[in-house]
């Protein structure tokens, strides 16, 4: 299909508002919030409150239309179906782990084999050498000296690290991978199934890799753009949840002495070679790490970057989607209130009409560079021949193409950020799906207490009303984010001039100039779709919302 020209994209952006529907949602406080449904078949469902019957029809419609479909190559799901740049064809363990609930439900045959592929990948010589460097010197975890979190898939389906990607200190990526390797290994062992050596060795290495760096090491965070020295709260939570699964795995191993011996034998070899503390033989060390992590998460619950930079980040919505008690006193109302406080701060700073920003304008210092930046990735006119003032510009620099600027490093981050504005930052659907999960889990916690005790306090009732209302709002928002088409079935354009299939999840909605030689712009579907990670989280949020609707109806 012929790609549209820059002028055709600008014309489409200028008329996009005619093809979408404004949705009004009334909050508990009576305030009205508005956002846009990009698919006119979905919009009527979102115009009213969602009861169980209406939402079930919407969920079924989207399931039938392929919203929750994934594609696999050698058991690893694709990040996107249609990528504007080659880098979006890479494989990230984090993206895969974000899809794991959907994979388990709809693609069961792919589940274990996909995890085994990651275990094999991290047992390759390049990654074994990287583990060894970090075991000898934990500070070497950063940049390309560390264990990779991004890979190319070769013709035979195997994975090979991308040496051109400079941020190899993405703590939560490795934390999430370890979490699910341990979880599903435990399930298999409990069912009397064998454990491949690749899986045993990768789990043991990752436990020591994350443990030896301590709590809150330097990390580039969920968006892997620049490193932050003081650590990140979501990274802490991810490693903590991973170690909880490892402790559970160790408990399961007690009933399976032969497999337990395999883990401990490999750990003995590793500890002897690198002078490491034994962890599988001494799980109390992991429990202590978990306790200290939880204490720090509670302390920094509103400060995602631990004071090193004043930045509100959508990773805080990811943290809120986890079952973590923030109260320190096991008091439900305090725990829920703190989660809500984080989400309200995130919403106030980052939620917009087509999605949520990844982060707001912030200042920090990295490697001696003073940085002040908004999110410049996929910012205004990113893939069309127009500058930030709406003027045609045939010599734009391609920050995602091959060559010297393809590396994801500090210099490129600064160059890309020139002349960009926060108001034209891309608006993502993924954080909306996480917020729907977060509010869904908070609602379920309160309903659990009501089921057990038969009643809630006045404060808990108020929190239940608020959380259920916000659960519904973010379910609406994540469904509103699904792509549509013209009424005659003709496909919408994306921000680079290619077309988007209806009922897809674009990575983001992007700002595009809507008139030449002006600063006027509109948001239209982004260049990368269908984002499997977002589709999977939307699916997870939907199942939880259906359960909550059923319980509220009772």
User: For 122-170, how does the pLDDT look when each residue is reduced to its tens digit (9 = 90+)?
Assistant: 999 999 999 999 999 998 888 778 899 999 999 999 999 998 887 778 9
Task: Please report where in the chains the tokens 């209302």 appear, as a residue.
Answer: 469
The predicted structure's pLDDT at residue 1: 62
Among 499, 364, 519, 353, residue whose Cα is nearest residue 426: 353
Task: Please report where in the chains the tokens 């920003």 appear, as a residue.
Answer: 357
The predicted structure's pLDDT at residue 143: 75
Residues 6 or more apart whose Cβ sits within 8 Å of residue 385: 6, 392, 393, 394, 396
Among 285, 289, 351, residue whose Cα is nearest residue 316: 351
The predicted structure's pLDDT at residue 308: 78
The predicted structure's pLDDT at residue 403: 42
Give every residue of the chain whose pLDDT is below 70, as ranges: 1, 397-408
Residues 6 or more apart whose Cβ sits within 8 Å of residue 184: 111, 112, 115
User: Quick one: tokens of 322?
Assistant: 């986890």
The predicted structure's pLDDT at residue 402: 43
Q: What is the DSSP letter of 441?
A: H
- pTM for this predicted structure: 0.97
The predicted structure's pLDDT at residue 399: 67
CB count within 10 Å of CB 369 equals: 12
d(CA 5, CA 226): 33
Q: What is the DSSP letter of 384?
A: S
């Amino acid at each position: 299909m012929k790609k549209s020209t820059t002028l055709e994209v600008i014309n489409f952006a200028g008329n996009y508002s005619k093809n979408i529907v404004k949705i009004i949602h009334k909050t508990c406080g009576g305030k009205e919030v508005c956002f846009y449904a990009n698919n006119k078949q979905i919009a009527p469902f979102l115009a009213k409150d969602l009861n169980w019957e209406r939402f079930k029809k919407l969920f079924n419609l989207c399931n039938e239309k392929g919203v929750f479909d994934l594609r696999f190559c050698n058991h690893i799901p694709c990040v996107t179906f249609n990528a504007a740049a080659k880098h979006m064809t890479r494989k990230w363990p984090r993206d895969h782990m974000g899809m794991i609930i959907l994979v388990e439900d709809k693609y069961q045959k792919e589940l274990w084999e996909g995890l085994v592929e990651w275990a094999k990948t991290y047992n390759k010589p390049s990654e074994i050498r990287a583990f060894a460097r970090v075991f000898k010197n934990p500070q070497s975890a950063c940049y390309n000296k560390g264990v990779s979190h991004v890979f190319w898939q070769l013709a035979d389906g195997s994975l090979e690290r991308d040496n051109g990607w400079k941020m190899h200190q993405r703590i939560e990526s490795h934390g999430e991978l370890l979490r699910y390797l341990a979880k599903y290994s435990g399930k298999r062992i409990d069912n009397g199934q064998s454990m491949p050596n690749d899986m045993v060795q990768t789990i043991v290495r990752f436990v020591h890799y994350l443990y030896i760096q301590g709590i809150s090491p330097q990390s580039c965070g969920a968006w892997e753009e620049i490193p932050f020295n003081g650590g990140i709260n979501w990274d802490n939570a991810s490693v903590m949840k991973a170690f909880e699964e490892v402790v559970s795995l160790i408990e399961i191993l007690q009933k399976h002495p032969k497999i337990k011996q395999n883990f401990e034998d490999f750990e003995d070899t590793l500890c002897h070679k690198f002078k490491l503390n034994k962890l599988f033989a001494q799980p109390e060390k992991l429990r202590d790490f978990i306790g200290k992590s939880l204490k720090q998460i509670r302390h920094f619950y509103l400060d995602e970057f631990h004071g090193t930079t004043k930045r509100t980040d959508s990773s805080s919505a990811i943290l809120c989607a986890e079952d973590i008690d923030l109260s320190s006193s096991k008091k439900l109302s305090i725990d829920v209130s703190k989660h809500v406080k984080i989400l309200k701060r995130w919403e106030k700073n980052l939620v917009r009409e087509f999605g949520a920003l990844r982060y707001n304008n912030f200042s920090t210092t990295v490697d001696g560079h003073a940085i002040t930046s908004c999110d410049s990735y996929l910012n205004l006119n990113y893939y069309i021949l127009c500058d930030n003032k709406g003027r045609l510009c045939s010599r734009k620099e391609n920050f995602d193409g091959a060559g010297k600027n393809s590396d994801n490093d500090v210099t490129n981050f600064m160059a890309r950020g020139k002349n960009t504005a926060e108001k034209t930052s891309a608006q993502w659907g993924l954080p909306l799906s996480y917020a729907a999960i977060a509010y869904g889990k908070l609602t379920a916690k309160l309903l659990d207490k009501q089921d057990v005790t038969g009643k809630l306090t006045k404060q808990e009732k108020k929190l239940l009303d608020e959380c259920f209302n916000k659960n519904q709002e973010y379910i609406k928002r994540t469904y509103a984010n699904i792509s549509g088409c013209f009424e005659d079935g003709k496909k919408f354009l994306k921000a680079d001039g290619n077309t988007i299939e209806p009922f897809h999840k674009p990575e983001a909605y992007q700002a595009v100039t809507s008139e030449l030689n002006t600063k006027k712009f509109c948001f239209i579907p982004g260049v990368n779709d269908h984002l499997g990670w977002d589709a999977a989280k939307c699916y997870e949020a939907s199942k939880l919302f259906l359960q909550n609707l059923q319980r509220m109806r009772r």
